[in-house]
Structure 1
Amino acid sequence: MSLRRLHYAWVVVFTGFLTVLGAHGFGRFAYSLVLTDMKAALNLDFFQMGLIATTNFIGYLALATIGGALASKYGSRRVIALSAFMMGVSMILTCLSRSFLEVLVWRFITGLGNGGAYLPAMALPSIWFALKLRGRATGCVSAGIGAGFALAGVIVPAVLLSYGEVGWRYAWFYLGAALLAIAFVDFLFIRNRPEDLGLKPLGLEEEAKAQSAGGGSSLKWGLVYKSKEVWMVGLVYFMYGFSYIIYVTFFSAYLETVFRWSKEAAGGLWSLVGLLSIASGILWGWVSDVLGRKYGMALAYSVLALSFLLYALALPPYGLYASALAFGVTAWSIPTVAVVAAADYVGPELRSAAAGFVTLFFGIGQAIGPALGGFAIEATGVFANAFYVAFLVATAGALGSLLLKRPPVK
């Protein structure tokens, strides 16, 4: 395809991919890789490190819940670019922190930026693409999560090795600078709507036919918030947020503290997880299409629970590697299927609202998990207990998935 025929929607998708890569891969998941060095340099314990992660997720949750509304009112371009800029500045200031309180404040602000950038970026394909193309376009944007995950696993250990005891500070500086560059790209290239460039959404002809009978009646938001089925999906999604974040927060610290792995080795396994996870959302979305949402989620949860159990047991010689493999292929399975499952229970005009509502549960789980995981480590003196907690919660998620009702055919 020539550049003249390339629809600008794909440029917007690329900016969304970069935004998600920076927001999640650099702003969130890099924390696990610098956790051990930050802990030692600032004389903190694992409970405090867990609280820092929890504060970051509280910030994420605070802005993620209204990020879509802000983007609707002020435009995705402004909200995403400003949020990425906020992340970049706060990450650079994290590198200058000298105390627990300072880190807590800057990581909270990084979380705010993450929430403000991530969800509007994920929503861009719904504006720029017709219905039949939104799935693959959104999948391209969400692939930034795994790509950032893998890239951080290469960059951060190299920086830590190069700069020694202060390596964690330089890691935050370089990652923050990358977010500032992404913010600049976002402001330069994101456009709020195809109409701003005199274009129509890609594939609009089919979309128009599909929506022609939809009518223009007012939205009945209560149908989302009063739906027991949507609430059940939210509770199941909560289990994912709670359990997966324990695994990713303490992933590297567990290897370095308990098994004396080098930072390079831990980062290498982290990168493998990231590479495996790039296609996980697409894979499990297909599985849920074939088996149904509840069985797809139950199966994904079972694999996730197995990965957490294998990590806790660390059975020689390949238990840790098997855990990384199992988690990698299911990493973003539940976020993909849960959003679709919630949308299945409501009409087309309310599907975005349903997806946003269940994301609230996911965010609450993310906020609670790291603090309780860190507490489990400090209270018992056994690092593996954090992963046993994750295993139990993921198992509950698998069982909860089986309680989901079959959605009506629409």
Structure 2
Amino acid sequence: MTLLDRTEAAPAHPARLILILSLAPTVGLGIGRFAYSLLLPDMRDSLGWSYSAAGFMNTINAAGYLVGALVTSRLVARFGMAAIVRVGTLACVASLALCALSGNFAVLSAARLIAGIGAALAFVAGGALATTIAQAQPARSAFLLSLFYAGPGIGILSSGLIAPFLLQAAGPGSWWLGWLVLAALSAAMTLPVLLAPIGGDAGIGGGRAAPFRIAPVVVYLAGYFMFGAGYIAYMTFMIAYVRDAGGGAAAQSAFWCLIGISAFATPWVWRRVMALHRGGLSTTIILAVNAVGAVLPLFSLSPVMLATSALVFGVSFFAVVASTTAFVRFNYPQAGWPGAIAAMTIAFGIGQTLGPLVVGAITDAIGSLSSALAVSAATLALGAALSAFQRPLPK
């Protein structure tokens, strides 16, 4: 029996296994997707990119994530959850290394596409496997699952501690070295995922899925689309905004690390809001806070205001995804969860695919990064307003 074939019905150390699984979104999302923002200013200067070109790199990454999320279930049914987690994480590591090898726009685009696909495979399959492991201890399942969703925050924090100081020490044009170091760090984080007996050959779900109807939740889907478009614009261009405002390596690192650190507080800050069974109310509240975090730098670029923006934005943007999961659990029978979650994923994926490209084009036209933040905050606020009109679904 190989490592990929081994399963554990009741793992002896579920917390340890889920922490190991959390390294998959650490690599795929925390580093593979979001660390691009740390390297973007130097890449843009060195490679002569417009803001539209810079935004396109996150657009194609988000498109890859959407594709990956839509095919994960079928791949898991054929190859098992553990295998897909490992393959997806390895793809992310390979994409990071590829980014270090060339400044060619097409090569970098391909690398970002691969990173998006790999991150989706690792995150969706990893989340399903973490849920399976957590169910072995129902009383601790919420806590155990929170360990997995802390993964992106770990990636944001670790890359924030490394990339700005590396670029400062190596000088202009050293963006490729940043990708290389992050690839090496990700490879080290991937080793436990490859070696641990995480098991999980079963497919996602089971039985007959209930049909999903868009009409009763179209306004909620529109709100989630706006979140996808708005949050990714902030996460793409905010480091460039801090740098253009005179923030050096220490300021950029502190800002990025505060976003990562604040993500760890998400389960405790929002647990009562998540329990609200009132249609889209919980999502509205969290999205409104997210919009406030995005708009704060427009009023002042003082260290206090930037730190507040990072904390407010960080503590809320991971929570929006969790709030949609809570909405699905409250309003659909278990047989309807796969269809509802798939619809949410599509709406979110399309939003985060279009967001960076559109905001980049607006920034090029206006000539100011402040416009990117204004559009991001307005989009998030619109998402909050739309979600407020969603009512609980009849049983």
1:265 equivalent to 2:251? Answer yes
Q: Quote the residue 1:343 is aligned against.
A: 329
What is the deviation of 1:168? 1.7
Change in Cα spacing, 1:314 to 1:84, as seen in structure 2 (3 Å) is same
Q: Quote the residue 1:98 is aligned against.
A: 103
**Deviations, residues 186-231 of structure 1 (Å, cap 9, x unaligned):** 2221433399xxxxxxxxxxxxxxxxxxxx9952442x2x153344
Q: Quote the residue 1:203 is aligned against.
A: none
Q: Quote the residue 2:227 is aligned against.
A: 240
What is the deviation of 1:92? 0.6
Amino acid in structure 1 at the alignment position of 2:70: T
1:391 equivalent to 2:377? Answer yes
**Is this contact kept in 2: 1:11–1:189, CA < 8 A?**
no
Q: Quote the residue 1:7 is aligned against.
A: 12
**Deviations, residues 66-109 of structure 1 (Å, cap 9, x unaligned):** 21331232111111111111111121111111222221111111
Following superposition of structure 1 onto structure 2, how do residues 99-118 of structure 1 map, counting pairs within 5 Å?
99-118=104-123
Counterpart CA distance in 2 for 1:369 and 1:229 is 25
What is the deviation of 1:7? 1.9
**Deviations, residues 37-56 of structure 1 (Å, cap 9, x unaligned):** 11112121211000111111
The partner residue of 1:164 within 171, 185, 196 is: 171
Q: Quote the residue 2:243 is aligned against.
A: 256
- Superposition CA RMSD, Å: 2.3
Counterpart CA distance in 2 for 1:221 and 1:7 is 34
Q: Quote the residue 2:156 is aligned against.
A: 149
The partner residue of 1:71 within 70, 73, 76 is: 76
More divergent stretch after superposition (371-380 vs 171-180): 171-180
Q: Quote the residue 1:136 is aligned against.
A: 143
**Is this contact kept in 2: 1:285–1:333, CA < 8 A?**
no
Following superposition of structure 1 onto structure 2, how do residues 288-299 of structure 1 map, counting pairs within 5 Å?
288-290=274-276, 292=278, 294-299=280-285
Change in Cα spacing, 1:144 to 1:365, as seen in structure 2 (3 Å) is same
Q: Calculate percent identity across the aligned residue pairs.
A: 26
Change in Cα spacing, 1:146 to 1:360, as seen in structure 2 (3 Å) is same
Following superposition of structure 1 onto structure 2, how do residues 179-328 of structure 1 map, counting pairs within 5 Å?
179-193=186-200, 218-222=207-211, 224=212, 226-257=213-244, 259-290=245-276, 292=278, 294-314=280-300, 318-328=304-314
Normalising by the residue count of structure 1, what TM-score does the alignment of the two structures yield?
0.86
Counterpart CA distance in 2 for 1:385 and 1:106 is 28
Aligned length: 382
Q: Where in structure 1 do 4 or more consecutive aligned residues deviate above 6 Å?
A: none
Amino acid in structure 2 at the alignment position of 1:175: L
**Unmatched 5+ residue regions in structure 2?**
1-9
Change in Cα spacing, 1:355 to 1:136, as seen in structure 2 (3 Å) is farther
What is the deviation of 1:167? 3.0
Amino acid in structure 1 at the alignment position of 2:62: F
Q: Quote the residue 1:205 is aligned against.
A: none
The partner residue of 2:55 within 50, 54, 74 is: 50
What is the deviation of 1:161? 2.4
Change in Cα spacing, 1:279 to 1:291, as seen in structure 2 (3 Å) is farther
Change in Cα spacing, 1:109 to 1:244, as seen in structure 2 (3 Å) is same
The partner residue of 2:28 within 19, 23, 46 is: 23
What is the deviation of 1:253? 0.3
Change in Cα spacing, 1:263 to 1:188, as seen in structure 2 (3 Å) is same
What is the deviation of 1:402? 1.2
Q: Quote the residue 1:201 is aligned against.
A: none
Change in Cα spacing, 1:360 to 1:12, as seen in structure 2 (3 Å) is farther
What is the deviation of 1:315? 5.9
Amino acid in structure 2 at the alignment position of 1:381: G
Counterpart CA distance in 2 for 1:147 and 1:179 is 12
**Is this contact kept in 1: 2:72–2:125, CA < 8 A?**
yes
Secondary structure, aligned partner of 1:391: helix
More divergent stretch after superposition (113-122 vs 159-168): 159-168
Counterpart CA distance in 2 for 1:368 and 1:221 is 30
Counterpart CA distance in 1 for 2:13 and 2:393 is 35
Secondary structure, aligned partner of 1:165: coil
Counterpart CA distance in 1 for 2:314 and 2:139 is 28
Amino acid in structure 2 at the alignment position of 1:171: G
Normalising by the residue count of structure 2, what TM-score does the alignment of the two structures yield?
0.90
Q: Quote the residue 1:362 is aligned against.
A: 348
More divergent stretch after superposition (42-51 vs 166-175): 166-175
Change in Cα spacing, 1:71 to 1:395, as seen in structure 2 (3 Å) is same
Counterpart CA distance in 2 for 1:76 and 1:182 is 19
Counterpart CA distance in 1 for 2:39 and 2:206 is 51
What is the deviation of 1:371? 0.7
The partner residue of 2:37 within 20, 27, 32 is: 32
1:89 equivalent to 2:94? Answer yes
Q: Quote the residue 2:4 is aligned against.
A: none
Counterpart CA distance in 2 for 1:244 and 1:407 is 27
Amino acid in structure 2 at the alignment position of 1:386: A
Amino acid in structure 2 at the alignment position of 1:229: P
